[in-house]
Amino acid sequence: MSLIDPDRADGADRTLGLLLAERESLRRFVTGMMGRDPHGAEDVVQETLLRAWQSAGRLDWHDRPIRMWLFRVARNLVVDSRRRDRSIPVGISAADFGPALTPTVPDHAEQVGDRRVLVSALRTLAPAHREAVARVHLLGQSGDDVARQLGLPPGTVKSRTHHGIRALRTTLESHGCPPAGADRLRRETR
């Protein structure tokens, strides 16, 4: 039984019929080229048929067999797919930035140790400095918000935060914290 009634077949129905008639042979052809990738083969077949459908107005369906055009488009799609899979991006890689920027899995034991050192360093600060540093750097509040909440001038909060971070940096360096950590604290205060 045919999908197309020859008495009512207009251009779109005829095009669809020709494409559907070639679908199975096209799938066998593409599967033979791609090997054991049935999903990839089906994607190529669908893309080929879609391109034929979109180009239906420009193709010569009467004098030239459409099968050759379909097979050429499918072959080109398979070649493009292989090239895309085989290509190696050229340019900057993570290794170019050195070991410091390569992603690492966080060591929870190290994080616990770092927290203990930070908490003990915070306890050495004067209460006013500790509160300013904690609100600005640990809670992420702005200096102006902290000043409003504590009823202080913004300059006082900046001063307490600055001196508190300086004292923290000194304490952390005495605990063996590398200067890079201190530099990070210095950058956070700006």
Contacts of 144 (CB under 8 A, 6+ apart): 154
Angle between helix 154-174 and 179-188 (nearest 10)? 170
12 DSSP 8-state letter = H
Q: Are 52 and 72 a contacting pair, CB within 8 Å? A: no
- Predicted confidence at residue 50, as pLDDT, reads 87
Q: Are 49 and 19 a contacting pair, CB within 8 Å? A: yes
Contacts of 66 (CB under 8 A, 6+ apart): 18, 19, 22, 52, 59
pLDDT tens-digit profile, the chain (190 residues): 343 444 444 666 666 777 777 888 888 898 888 887 888 888 998 998 888 888 877 776 666 677 888 899 999 999 988 888 776 666 666 666 666 555 566 778 888 887 888 888 889 999 999 999 989 988 888 989 999 998 999 999 999 999 999 998 888 888 777 655 444 444 444 4
Angle 38-19-10 (CA atoms, 0-180°, nearest 5)?
155
- Predicted confidence at residue 6, as pLDDT, reads 47
Q: How far apart are CA 161 and CA 181, in angstroms?
A: 17
- Predicted confidence at residue 158, as pLDDT, reads 93
- Predicted confidence at residue 4, as pLDDT, reads 40
- Predicted confidence at residue 61, as pLDDT, reads 64
pTM of this structure = 0.40
> CA torsion 126→127→132→137, rounded to 10°?
80
- Predicted confidence at residue 3, as pLDDT, reads 39
